[in-house]
C-alpha cells in the first residue's frame, strides 16, 4: 500500500514537471489582420455587435481627472502619463468633421499618456473612426500583441485578431491629440484555452494514474 509520504512525493514530482513545462512554453500571440481604411472589409470579416458602433451619444466626462467612464459595453479610463484637457468625452475646440460630437478625446505620447478601453466581454474585432492624424498611433491589446500604424489620413482604423482580448490601449511616440468616434467591436468571443492548459491537465491526470498504479502495487 502506498504511504502518504510516497503519495505526496508523486504529486509533487508531477506538479514540478508541469511548472517547468509551462515556464518553458512561449506565449502564442494571435495573428492580426488589418482593415485600415476598409470598413466594409472589416464588417465582412466579423459579426458586429448589436450595440456597435459606440457613438458616445449623451456622454460628457473628463476621464483624465474624474476617473473611468462606463459607456455601455466598455469602460474608458486614463492609463499612464499626465492627464490633459484632451482626455475627455465631449466637444472640443478643434473642428470634429467628419466626426460628430460628442467624441472620445485622446492625447498620446510621453506627456500625453495612454487611454484604455476595457470591454465587458472578450472580442476579436475592433475598429474606430479617427480624426487628427499627425503621428504614429499605437493600438495595443492585452492578448494579441501590438498593432502599430502610421495613419496618413483621417478615417477608419480597424483589425481582427485570431485571439480574443478585453482591453485596447491607445498610445503613441509623440504628444499628439486624437479624436475618436464610432468605436466598433464584434460579438462576445469564447476564449480558447492555450496549449499549456491542456498540457497541465494531462500531467495532472497522469499523476493521478501513477498514484493509483503504485497503490495497487
Per residue of the chain (217 residues), give pLDDT as tens. 445 445 434 434 333 322 222 233 333 456 889 998 999 999 999 999 999 999 999 999 999 999 999 999 999 999 988 899 999 999 998 888 889 999 999 998 877 789 999 999 999 999 999 998 777 788 889 987 777 666 667 899 999 999 999 999 998 878 888 899 999 999 998 655 555 544 545 555 555 555 554 666 5
CA dihedral 51, 143, 191, 209 (to 10 degrees): -170
Question: Cα–Cα distance between 206 and 59 in angstroms, integer?
Answer: 55
What is this structure's pTM? 0.76
What is the distance between the alpha carbons of residues 133 and 116, in angstroms, rounded to a whole number?
19
CA 99 → CA 55, 104, 132, 150, 178, distances in Å? 10, 10, 11, 20, 12
Domains of the chain (ranges; CATH) run: 32-185 (2.60.120)
Four-CA torsion 32, 33, 39, 45, nearest 10 degrees: -100
Q: Which three cell numbers stand for residue 98?
A: 467628419
Amino acid at each position: 500500500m502506498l504511504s502518504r509520504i510516497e503519495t505526496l512525493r508523486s504529486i509533487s514530482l508531477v506538479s514540478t514537471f508541469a511548472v517547468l513545462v509551462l515556464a518553458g512554453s512561449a506565449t502564442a500571440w494571435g495573428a492580426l489582420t488589418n482593415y485600415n481604411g476598409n470598413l466594409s472589409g472589416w464588417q465582412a470579416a466579423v459579426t458586429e455587435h448589436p450595440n456597435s458602433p459606440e457613438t458616445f451619444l449623451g456622454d460628457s466626462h473628463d476621464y483624465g481627472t474624474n476617473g473611468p467612464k462606463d459607456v455601455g459595453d466598455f469602460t474608458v479610463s486614463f492609463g499612464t502619463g499626465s492627464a490633459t484637457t484632451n482626455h475627455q468625452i465631449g466637444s472640443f475646440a478643434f473642428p470634429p468633421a467628419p466626426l460628430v460630437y460628442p467624441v472620445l478625446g485622446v492625447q498620446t505620447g510621453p506627456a500625453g499618456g495612454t487611454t484604455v478601453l476595457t470591454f465587458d466581454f472578450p472580442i476579436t474585432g475592433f475598429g474606430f473612426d479617427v480624426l487628427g492624424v499627425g503621428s504614429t498611433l499605437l493600438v495595443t491589446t492585452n492578448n494579441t500583441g501590438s498593432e502599430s500604424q502610421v495613419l496618413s489620413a483621417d478615417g477608419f482604423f480597424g483589425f481582427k485578431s485570431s485571439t480574443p482580448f478585453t482591453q485596447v490601449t491607445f498610445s503613441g511616440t509623440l504628444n499628439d491629440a486624437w479624436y475618436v468616434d464610432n468605436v466598433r467591436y464584434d460579438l462576445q468571443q469564447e476564449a480558447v484555452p492555450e496549449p499549456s492548459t491542456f498540457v497541465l491537465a494531462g500531467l495532472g491526470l497522469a499523476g493521478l494514474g501513477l498514484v493509483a498504479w503504485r497503490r495497487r502495487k
